[in-house]
A and B are shown apart, each in its own frame.
Chain A
Amino acid sequence: MFAYLVKRVFQAIAVMFVISLIGFAIQDNLGDPLRELVGQSVSEEVRQELRDELGLNDSFLTQYLRFAGNALQGDLGTSYFFKEPALDVILKKLPATLELVMGASIIIIGLSIPLGVYTAIYPNTILSRLIMGISIIGISIPVFLTAILMIFVFAVELGWFPSYGRGDVVHVFGFWDTNFASLDGWQHILLPSIALASIMLPLFVRLIRAEMMEVLQSEYVKYAKAKGIRPWRIYFVHALKNTLLPVITVGGVQIGTMVAYTILTETVFQWPGMGFMFLEAVNRVDTPLIVAYLIVVGFIFVVTNTIVDLIYGLVNPTVNLARMGA
């Protein structure tokens, strides 16, 4: 188990190395930092001096090592626009994004399992056909369109929910603003969460349904029937556990993907998270912030995947983590 953990951490470090390389390459090639810093009116001589001072004339390797060394100490550069450390800017926006992802995840987990199981057990009922039909629509419509449609229907026409922002957030633990502690917060996060879930949820319903149908055809399910086990126990103990094993792996990847999807959702709902911030940074050519965003999102991706793999090993008895470390 420990050996496996160490192995996974090394893999994670390797992935982070590649991400940092890509991030640095972007920084190195995206525009001239001098123009952002000093504007047009400064003479070429002063510019050269500044370049030397900032180390922009050093070799690629020296510059990368400096960048990586700083990054390891939590210094991802300073945002041109905010004049603050880029990491601080992102960390301030992080809770909003993570809560949005959490809200979407709750919707996905809470709905995909019952819907997937139901449509697998009763594939021919009208309700199943309806669920499958809606899921196709959900997958087909892009997130930003779903979001705009929802704003139009539920915020503008019906007026049930607010159309933008986080609303009343409650400050907890000294560093985290949460939407889940007030009614206004809940009302604000509902529509964005649904919009963010709108692509993943149908995907998971279909995935769970397909896996479950296959499992229900298996010998061990037939055998459980031959032992006289009650149907609900066959479905939820024998079949569901086997169904969820592959779903967990896919789910881990999708949580990371969802963090990236928040760019669209947050922009439409003016959600003050890091996806919204990223789009603004791109508009302002705020290179350090863009790079810092890439690295932070990459880090979240790597961490969630590592955790999910460990969970998978704990849930699936046929995976021996101790042996996999060897």
Chain B
Amino acid sequence: MTGTASSSDSIVRPTRTPSIAVVLMAEGDPLEPPVDRGAEKDWITRLIVVGKDPAAKREAERLGALHRETLDAVAKALPADIEFIWILADRAKPEPGALTALVQVAVNHQVALVGSKILSSEDSEQLLSVGSATDLFGVTFTGLDDSELDFAQYDVVREVSNLSPVSLLMRRRLLAVLGGFDESLPPVSAGLDLCQRVRLAGGRVVVAPSSRVRYPSGLFPRFAGWRERAGRMRAMFKAYRLMTLAWAIPLDVLLNLGEGLFSLVLGRPGRLAGFLTAVGWNIWRFPSAVSGRIKAQKFRAVGDEDIFRYQMSGSVTLREVGSEIGRRIGDFGPEEKSWAVVLTSRLRRGAPLAALLSFLYVAAASRNLWLVGLPSVGFSFPPGDDSAAVLAAYAGGWSDAGLGTSLPPHPAAALTAFADWLTLGWSGSQILVTGMALLAGLLGSARLFRSMGVASAGSHAGAAVYLLGSATASVLAYGYWPLVVALGALPWSVSAAARPWPDGWRARIGDLAAVSLACALLAASTPLAVAAPLAIVLLGCAAGVGWSWWSVPRALLGAAAGVSAVGAYLWAYDLDVWSHGPSLDWEADWVYWGGVAAAGLLAVLFGGARLRGATGVGLALSGAGLWVGHLPEWELALAGAVLAAVGAGTIVAASVAAGVREGKDRLRVGGLLALLAGMVVLGSSLPSLEGGRAGLAEDRWSDRLEFASSLAEPGDGSRLLLIGEEGSLPGMEREGEGFSYRLMKAGPPTLEQAWLAPPGVGDQALEEVVRTLSEARPLRPGELLAPFGVRWVVVSQETGFSRYLSGQVDVRILSESAEAVVYENLVALPRSDGPYVGAWDSVAPDRVEGLEFQGRIRIGDNAHPGWGPDWVQHSWWNTISGSDGAGTFTPDPVERRLGWWGGGLLIGLAGLVWWGRGASR
């Protein structure tokens, strides 16, 4: 044993009466002196109450004790004749002789810090703590079973890593030198921190089992929650040498990330979130940790190996993960069982494996999203640089998509801009949203299928089909990214509505908020799909999957909340959101749906009564989804695709579950057929692995239009005219004769530009010009396009439109490739111009600025009286007075309020969900 830092102190013989100060750590309860009779009472020369709130001071006055706010202050206040300090938690009830036992151990074994055995005050023999071990990373391991009783099995005085702070005896000089508990740490970590500092100073940390202290078991501090995890990290940082920290910290991070992911797979996201929160807390408190470390290292007398000596080998976290896996997999059973039976048994209990496989499958199918990024195609584009402008446009302001419009951008664009704004413009915000949506979709759909009575293994297979099957793949092939968000939100809205109504009004409010929040996110991504949760709940109740009919009003409330969240959009379009949208078709793969139907029928026949309900729901959703999906309006077709995706997922989940259930031979064979059919349907999604984009189409526009942002003059608001084959342009298109076209802001496409409003007067004028270009072959196409702010024209070679621009004198070729020709308009005009070109700038979509000028300023957007000051329409564009040096668009007040309401509703619902979760902790 190493020498102690207090070796210069005289050794106190038990024959000499020790002088002890008792410190009661007040926590709000009434205090009592720990010892009120006998020799121990004579040893106590000081009684001190420690606590920061006024109640502690009042208790101290009542007891006639001293009061100090911190343990450090106590150390400074005590005279030198005090040898020991007995630190007690305020609810601790020492048994007679507890103090004597502590002192005896401290004196006889020359111990610097001694802890008591803690027993439950409700159950006289239940052990709560008898010292504990930790691993290298400070994770505490008590070694006790739940409700383990004391049979003196641990009654050995021994050195330990950690002591419970409920009852500690410490030498006064040591406390004065090292200081007391770290105020920022919770109880268990604070105890660990103190024990490690004592060891570093050369002291011994010992448990004295003969010292018995009672404590309420329900309130006993345990190593749980993110605060304790953060605390042990801080304790580790303060104690270990830098060399040790250099490998221990990365290893700790890896272990915890791995454990977090494992827990995520098991449906416990709190572990990963807790670890990340703990890391964040430590980063925030890093300066104080550094000063604490400096102080602790100042009195270091031993190496880290003296700390390791009393620690467990390996990792407590890994052991717990291993135990979990073992518990779930189960044992092999008796040897006489056949491998087939064992395998089937394992398959039946193969939820973790199925979950892991489905997670890996979706991760592999989406790998390029994380490695390379989201493709720029269709309706998959990053948010614009100015997320505030997009949000303002959504809330009644002016949108600069196309030739400008007062109609709001699609709610999906606003949602993405909101996420971008929340993350302060972080470029990865959309990837984060995508990742969260995919994960939510995977976990949520599996949970949904389980709630219908499908076994876990089947539910995960169904989840993979839900995300990657033909229903969603055919939509994502258009690059329709908002569907990913919808897929993530939908299952949570249904399962939150369908789960049993909790006890307690707080949890109920949280549940309703969860339904509403999920529906709001669903409505934001695919407005008409907000009716899907209600449809699923209705069908589920009708099919008898075990949901209560009270789920229907909850789903209805959620749908109402979802609709209200996108109120600004619905209001602006007079509720007519289904007749406006891209000219896309959702095409059903009838071979796939034939397979789904076959799997469904087999599941109905051989799945048993329990699975028939789920299968029936799946078939109904698939049929309804196909029916709605074949309607010509895109938003309706999209809602149909969403329903069909849920339907297919449910059927595959049920058919796989039918294959793993027990039954008679005939049913077992039939079940295996159903399983096979389900796996075939699942297998049909394998092509999504090839691209690694979760079904999204290949990138097409990420760097094609980059030239425009580098060539554009700041503030000129230049536009691109894109001409290509139908369905090849970014976002929505306008139709020409044998080609499609659209306007875009200079630069790579952004999400809010993907959707185009119904044509305004300017769009009609542009249509006329484009027709003229293709029919009349004008000598000066540049002059015709100039008022629209068109500085570049990008023509796809496939259209042959280039021949219409081959005989002219004011548009030159900027670049040419096998795919497209880029023309530059030599007579281009900026979006806004005044007395001369360049005098006025386009500062924002809804604002132009320039020299004050007693004349008219032209704004080359669709004419709208919302512009000012002194708006007058000229031809199809706006003119305003230049006298103020600025022109702005006045937002619609109703839409503005609805926009604020939508954003506030999202935030409020998220807060309510979080608050409601607290009821279940």
Bound pair (A, B): no
Give me the interface of B with A, judged by CB distance under 8 Å. Answer: none
Q: Spell out A's residues near B (CB within 8 Å).
A: none
